[in-house]
Amino acid sequence: MNSYLSAMRIYRDFFGRYSRGDYKHFILRYLGIALTGPMLDEAIATSNKDD
C-alpha cells in the first residue's frame, strides 16, 4: 500500500524513478480498484430493471 500512496503523492514529479516492483504494485492496485468499482456498482444498483 505504501508504494501506491507514494506514487499518488509524487505523480507529477518527473525527476525521479520508481523501482520495477513499486510500479507493479501500483498498477495491480489500480487495476483492482478499477475492476472492483463497476462490479460493486452493479451489485448495489437501485435502478429500475423493468425498463
- Greatest alpha-carbon span in the chain: 54
Residue 27 dihedral angles phi and psi, to the nearest 5°: -65, -40
Q: Mean pLDDT per 10-residue run, the chain (51 residues)?
A: 71 73 83 90 73 50
pLDDT at 36: 93
pLDDT at 47: 63
pLDDT at 34: 92
Cell numbers linked to 6? 507514494
Helix 20-44 and helix 2-9: axis angle, to 10°? Answer: 90
Pairwise CA distance, residues 3 & 22, whole Å: 5
Instruction: Give SS3 for 47.
Output: coil
Residue given cell 520508481 in the structure block: 18
